[in-house]
Every structure is written in structure tokens, then in C-alpha cells.
Amino acid sequence: MREERPLRPLLPTTTRREAPPPQSRRRDRVASACEECRIRKIKCNGGRIEPGNEGVRPVCWECLKRSTLCHYAAHLTETQGQAVKRKHDALRIQNEAYAELFALIQTRPDNESLEILRRIKMGADVESILRHVRDGDLLVQLSVEPETRLRYTLPYMDSMPAFLLVPDNQYLTTSLYEATFKPPSSSPDTMTLGEPRTSKFNAVLAAACQDYKGMLDLAKFWMPDNLQPRFFLEAKCLWELEMGVSRLTSIHTAQVLHGILNGNGMSTVRDFYTSEAVAMAHNLRIFELAPVQMNPRLRRGREFTAWALWLWQVGVSYYYRRAPFIRDPPAFAAPDPDVDPEWYGEVYVRYPLSPTVTRMQLDHVMRATIDLRIIMNDISLLQFASHEQKELSPAQVLEFKVRLDRFLQKLPPTLAPSRISLPCHFNVHLFRGQVNAQKTSSASPRLFDGKAALQIQNEAYIRFETIMRIRYLRHSFDAYDAWGLLYLIYLGNLALDSLSNDGHNSASELTTKEVTCSTAVLCINGLVAQSHSVYAGTLLSCSMIERLKPAEKALLGRHISAGIGQVDHPFDSEARNHRILQPAPTD
């Protein structure tokens, strides 16, 4: 066997190598620690952010080691102090929003407070509710309160007649009726344009003169020294010079000239301007769909002009009991006001006691007028298309009754019966009420929901007179209103018929003779007020006074406003023969 050799022992080295000192581990600085590390009061490395994931917060080393959820209260680049300030500001804003919401529920009327609560129960957040209130959506339309500190006193009897105070009369819920009014002041309570705009057309200036109270003998338009005839004659000459050229502006001017002539008794020439405007519209083909490549601004002007002309001629034709000039509405629909309000434009008015201006809601007013005139157009085509006026059948009356009720239900909140405040809002409901109150055939005793035809007619009449009285309480009839003339004629004729026929219409069957007298005085005084602006008011007020019996004149004379003059128009007999403003048929 081999003998194993012993190993040589190792000797220690003569030089000793020192180990390098341990390097300190560099800790990544982080803007803020995660919440777990903050609770444990330990260092947080914030984790390592991988390239490409700069927007994602990583899990820190301590949370990774302990398998806990790593959550950061601060944003990626925020310090802890900045995060605290941000959360404090957010809580402050939230607290202010809740305080504002609480104040709204406290201070708003019951119906609006309930609407707010309903939205909360449906899951709407605070900001969305407040945004509706601030930015003019549905709630702001409900919350806008008209200025109601002034009122006019009804003539003859200053209280609202009892026959109008029926439980289901929704117009009695308007704030104009419910508000506590102050006595009328010495200054007239008229509206002022917030931002007046000057038109280039003398026709518009002539029309504006009709409501200028500083001009003497304003209604005597045949006097050459008056400002209105000067503007009118110049506009007429300029318009006639351009008759061979079809323009959108000429169409609008023709409508204004028609309105001036209509209000001042020139019945023989007024239709000439409307027929010429219709011919221009057909030449321009504005009732047809515009080409796709047309300039958007020009297309909008054509569309608006088409609807404006169609609405005008339908309204005029209906009240003169004849078929419209243009039987079919434009081939395109007017836009939804909530989607494209700029298509309609807007006008702002300011009451003398209010420091702010108020929107007229012109978009919703015009859209509602379009829907209503379509119904009026269909009635005119059925009744007045032939030479003899035709009476609607019970089935046709029922159809229009359903359409009118549906129209009322579809009105936006700002035009609801409880919210109307401006004259243009009242006009929408007066149009509907007058059409609905027309005398119907008694061949069918029951027409709708088990109600007799007479009952339906009476309910419509109650609402029509309620609107007229409430409108007078707030606005009176001092300011010129072309359509207001028609309402005064219609209601006044019903009252005078009731007085002269000893009760053979809706007005006499609903109320007393004293109330009927008050209605007649209200309408006569309204026409007297209009007589300061247009000659039609003079003719019509004189005509109504002549219809009163001697005993009625003696009884009502001191309640009729002063200012009735003699009919001194140089063509007064012609004006009377043509009946410059005829109301829609009452029988």
C-alpha cells in the first residue's frame, strides 16, 4: 500500500487584505408615502416605476413584503401637503354645493322643491342639479319668477269673476295671479328692450312708431307730418323699386308693411304685400329643402324666412275666415329649441322695477306657435277653402279637440299655464283658447271624455277670459299688440252679444249680467288704449260703444276710458265697409 504523505500546513499570509466598507443603499426619494407605510410610520420607497408605466403607481417594497394593499392618497407627482390641500378644497366646494342645494329646497316654492327632491331620488348628483338651475335647463325655467310688484286694476269690478274661479282652471296657478301686488304707479308699467337693435329698414322704424307714446295723433297715419307715415312712405317707395328682385329682406319688409296697413284700416291694399311676398318666396324656392352645399348661414336665413312667412299668412287668413295663401308648411321641420336655440334667436326685456333682463324664450314661443298654426291651417282648409264657410262635423271637432289638448300637454315648462308671464307667452294660450272655444255643432251630445259639446266650449271660454284678465292685471293693453286686437274683438263681441241677446251664448250662460258688463268694459277700454297707436282701435272701440243700449251706455259710461274720438278718417266709410279686423266666427 502506498503510504499517504502528510499535507503541508498552510502558513498565514504576511499582508492582510482589508474588506471594503459596505456601501450604503440609496433610497429612492418619493413625493409621498403610501397609506400603509404612513400608518406604520416606516420608510416607503414608493416602488420602482418601470419604463412605459410612468402613469401607474407601483407597489412599494414594504407592502410587497407584507402582502398588503398599497394605496396612495396623493397623486403621482403630489407631495403630501399638496394632497391635503387638494382634498380640503374639494371638501369645501362639496360643502358649498350641499349648502346651496339645501338653500334651494328651503327657499323655492313647493313644486320646485319637490322637483329637486325627485331628481335626488332618481340618483342625480348635486352638481347636475345645480347646473340645471344655473344654466337655464328645465329647473331654471321653473324657477324664473316674473316681476310682479305692479298690477293694473280691472275696470268696472276689480275682483276676478266667480265663474272663472273653478278648481281645474290651471291659469289661476300662475304667479302673476297669486302674487301680492302693489297699487299701480303713476308711470306706465311697460317693458324695455335690454339690448335694442336698429334695423336698416324704414318699415321696421314705421312699425316701431306705433308704440311711441311721445307722438301726438299717432293713430292718424294719413297726416303727412307724423313720423310714422314718413318712414312708411319711404319704405314703400324703396320696396316698390325692388319689386322685380326677390330677396329674403324684401319678404320680411312686405310682412311689416302688411301689418302697418292692417292696423290702420287700409284693407284694400294690405293683401298685395303678402301676395307679393309669397311670390318672392316661391321664386327663391325657400319652402323647399336647401342644397347641401349651400352656405349654412344662408340656409338658416332661408329656413327662418320660410317659417316666418308661413306663420304670418296662416294667422291672418284664419282671422279673416279664408283659405291660406300657402296651404302646405315648409318641407323641412323647424329645429328642436333645446338642440338648436340659435336658429330662433332671442330677445331680452326688462321691467322697470327689475335690475336684470329676462329672456322671452323666443325659441320655445316660436316652436309652439308653429305647432298651433299647423292646427289652425288645417281648420282653415276645411272651413274656408270654398266660397261658403263650412261647419265642422262632430268627428272633425273631436279630432281638433284632441290635437289641441295634446298641444297643451307638450308645451315646455316655461310655457306651462302656471309659468306664463310675458305677452308672447299669453298669446300662445290665447290662440289655443280661442280656437278651442269656437261654437260647435250640437248634433253629437258627447264629444270627449263623456263631456257634452257645450261643456267643452264653456270650459275653453272660462280659460280664455281668465288669461285675458290676468294679462291685463300685469301688462294692461296700453302697448300696441296686433294680435291682442283680435282677442279684444273676440271677447268683446261675445260680451256684447250676451248683453244684446239676453243670454244666448257661452258667456251669458256662465255668469251674471254685471260680470258680462265688466268684460265688455275691459275690452272696450283695451281697444281705446290701442286707438292711441293704430286707427283700428278707434274704429273698433267706437263700433262696440255704438252697440250698447242707452241704459247700458248710461251705466257703463263712467267706466270707459277717455280718449274716444270721432271717426275722422278720410276714408272712414270704406274702412267700415271692409271691416278692417274681423274676428274668427263665434257661431
Q: Which residues pair with residue 349 across a beta bridge?
A: 193, 358
Q: Is the pTM of this model over 0.85?
A: no
CA end-to-end span of the chain: 150
> CB neighbours (10 Å) of residue 156?
18
Write the pLDDT tens digit of every residue in 519-560: 999 999 999 888 888 888 888 888 899 889 888 888 888 888
Query: Grid cell 307724423 — which residue?
Result: 226
Write the pLDDT tens digit of every residue in 9-51: 666 665 555 555 555 455 556 667 888 888 888 888 775 555 5
- Between CA 185 and CA 187 the distance in angstroms is 5
H or E stretch including 455?
A: helix 453-475
- Between CA 521 and CA 66 the distance in angstroms is 92
- Between CA 483 and CA 431 the distance in angstroms is 9
Q: Residue ranges of the alpha helices (H) in 476-534?
A: 482-500, 506-510, 513-531
What's the DSSP call for residue 386? S
> CB neighbours (10 Å) of residue 91?
10
Q: Which residues pair with residue 150 across a beta bridge?
A: 182
- Antiparallel, parallel or unpaired: β 348-350 and 451-452: unpaired
HSE, CB side, 13 Å, CA atoms: give it for residue 345: 7
Q: Which residues pair with residue 359 across a beta bridge?
A: 348
Q: pLDDT over 90 for what percent of the chain?
A: 14
- Between CA 199 and CA 210 the distance in angstroms is 15
Query: Could you give the strand order of the β-sheet that contains 192-193, starting from the edge strand earlier in sequence?
Result: 192-193, 348-350, 358-359
Q: At 174, is the secondary structure helix, strand, or coil?
A: coil
Asked whether 349 and 290 are in contact (CB, 8 A), the reply is no
Write the pLDDT tens digit of every residue in 314-369: 988 888 888 888 989 999 999 999 889 889 988 888 776 677 778 888 999 999 99
pLDDT beyond 90 at 304: yes
pLDDT beyond 70 at 255: yes
DSSP percent split of the chain into helix, strand, coil, nearest 5: 55, 0, 45
HSE, CB side, 13 Å, CA atoms: give it for residue 486: 21
pLDDT beyond 90 at 283: yes
Q: Tell the burial category of 14 from Cβ atoms under 10 Å away from its Cβ (0-12, 13-18, 19+).
A: exposed
What's the DSSP call for residue 585? P
The full set of domain ranges for the chain reads 32-46+57-73, 80-143
Query: Grid cell 275653453 — which residue?
Result: 460
CATH code given to domain 32-46+57-73 = 4.10.240.10
Rg (CA), the chain: 38
Write the pLDDT tens digit of every residue in 206-250: 777 777 766 666 777 667 677 777 788 888 888 888 877 888 988
- Between CA 309 and CA 304 the distance in angstroms is 9
The dihedral region occupied by 409, where left means phi > 0, alpha psi between -120 and 50, and beta the remainder, is alpha
- Between CA 105 and CA 344 the distance in angstroms is 33
- Using N-to-C axis directions, what is the helix angle for 296-319 and 362-383, rounded to 10°? 50
Q: Which residues pair with residue 503 across a beta bridge?
A: none
- Cell reading at 51: 419604463
Asked whether 325 and 275 are in contact (CB, 8 A), the reply is yes
